[in-house]
């Protein structure tokens, strides 16, 4: 991967991490507000998070420099994580079985992970073109069996970047073997 692509991916991750942290802050603020005013039941659902993202992109120029696709995906991921934590609480799971509420992502502790839906990427001439003008050369481990519906671009703890594609497949049952009882 080129240094230009790495720099662009890290800049995109910084924007997405900021949005995640804003979602955590909004969730905590909503909780404290509902605790202080029991009659005023505000929520922190997908609609409120999308509204927060739209407002943040409107007033923050450096946020607009990035693509909206991974930013929207990070709010959806936050919403799913929060919903799972709330479900665990209402089902009264023991503390060690609970997912726990989403926490702030610290720059040095969270490895970059960016999710792109179909409208946020394309494959052309063996290269991965991501929304926001990021182009990365891909080293394929195998051919894709079908057109991918989404891609996750992430960096591991050693600093290597990977792209993981979601591809629809058909499952076929294995033939029965006569030797097994």
Structure confidence at residue 123 (pLDDT): 93
pLDDT of residue 155: 92
159: pLDDT strictly greater than 60: yes
- Percent of the chain beyond pLDDT 70? 98
pLDDT higher at 181 or 26: 26
Summarize the confidence of residues 14-36 as an average pLDDT: 89
Rounded to an integer, the average pLDDT of 164-175 is 86
Long-range contacts of 64-67 (CB under 8 A, 24+ apart): 65/11, 65/15, 66/11, 66/12, 66/15, 66/16, 66/132, 67/12, 67/120, 67/130, 67/131, 67/132
Name the band, by pLDDT with cuts 50, 70 and 90, for residue 179: low
Q: Quote the pLDDT of residue 54.
A: 92
Residue 139 tokens read as 């080293």
Answering whether pTM is above 0.85, one says no
pLDDT for residue 96: 74
Q: What is the predicted pLDDT for the residue at 41?
A: 75
pLDDT tens, 69-93?
999 999 999 999 888 888 888 888 7
Which pLDDT does position 180 carry in this prediction? 57
Q: Where are the domains of the chain?
A: 3-90, 113-166
Q: Among 79, 90, 70, which residue's Cα sits nearest to residue 48?
A: 79
pLDDT of residue 154: 94
């Amino acid at each position: 991967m080129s240094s230009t692509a790495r720099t662009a991916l890290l800049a995109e991750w910084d924007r997405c991490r900021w949005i995640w942290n804003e979602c955590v802050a909004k969730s905590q603020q909503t909780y404290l507000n509902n605790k202080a005013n029991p009659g005023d039941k505000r929520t922190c659902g997908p609609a409120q998070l999308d509204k927060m993202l739209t407002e943040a992109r409107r007033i923050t120029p450096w946020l607009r420099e990035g693509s909206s696709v991974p930013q929207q995906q990070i709010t959806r991921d936050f919403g799913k994580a929060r919903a799972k934590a709330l479900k665990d609480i209402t089902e009264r799971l023991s503390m060690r079985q609970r997912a726990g509420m989403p926490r702030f992502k610290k720059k040095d502790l969270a490895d970059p992970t960016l999710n792109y839906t179909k409208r946020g990427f394309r494959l052309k001439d063996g290269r991965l073109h991501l929304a926001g003008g990021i182009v990365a050369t891909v080293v394929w481990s195998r051919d894709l069996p079908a057109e991918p519906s989404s891609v996750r671009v992430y960096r591991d703890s050693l600093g290597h970047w990977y792209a993981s594609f979601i591809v629809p497949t058909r499952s076929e049952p294995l033939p029965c073997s006569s030797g097994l009882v």
